[in-house]
Amino acid sequence: MHSDERRTTALVEAARAGDAQARDALVRAYLPLVHNIVGRALDGHVDTDDIVQETMVRALDGLTGLRDPARFRSWLVAIAMNGIRRRWRERQQAPVPGLDRAADLADPAAGDFTEVTILRLGLSGQRRDVARATRWLDEDDRELLALWWLEAAGELTRAEL
């Protein structure tokens, strides 16, 4: 077992036993990963933070249902992906927002998620162009590309995918 897996397993077991510090440590360790996955899949949509928060709450509340604590990371990614799919289904079924719902829309001046990613990762040239081109992909293709990108960046392993 890898040292990260041992640490995660210990944190999960401690959190199951009611250790608040272990729960906090799990959130600190995995919140960036969940935010990256959800943010890429939703392209920085206004619901990103809500889905990230919902994912973390579901994971912490459901720790007793996790069969193998060493699989926490994969399990957490699956919870995040289910939240993303749920959001996509809701968006497809929802009526087109009118002016009365304009307050719920993302602020275009707040920054494009793709642009933030380009700056954060220091992408240049063709990689920057590819990141910008993802805006025109279908949602399913964007999800697949986001997962591939996370695997290529070492954020997820092939087995976790």
Distance, first Cα to last Cα, the chain:
19
**DSSP structure class, residue 95:** P
Are 42 and 85 spatial neighbours (Cβ–Cβ below 8 Å)?
no
Model pLDDT, residue 89: 83
- Sequence-distant (≥ 6) Cβ neighbours of residue 86 within 8 angstroms: none
Return the CATH number of the domain spanning residue range 3-152.
1.10.1740.10
Model pLDDT, residue 126: 61
Going residue by residue through the chain (161 aa), what tens digit of pLDDT does each one get?
567 788 999 999 999 999 999 999 999 999 999 998 898 888 777 788 899 999 999 999 999 999 999 899 999 999 999 999 888 887 777 555 554 555 555 544 444 555 555 555 555 566 656 666 666 677 777 777 777 777 777 777 777 76
- Domain range summary for the chain, segments of one domain joined by +: 3-152
Are 114 and 131 spatial neighbours (Cβ–Cβ below 8 Å)?
yes
Model pLDDT, residue 113: 52
pTM reported for the whole predicted model? 0.59
Model pLDDT, residue 111: 45
Model pLDDT, residue 25: 94
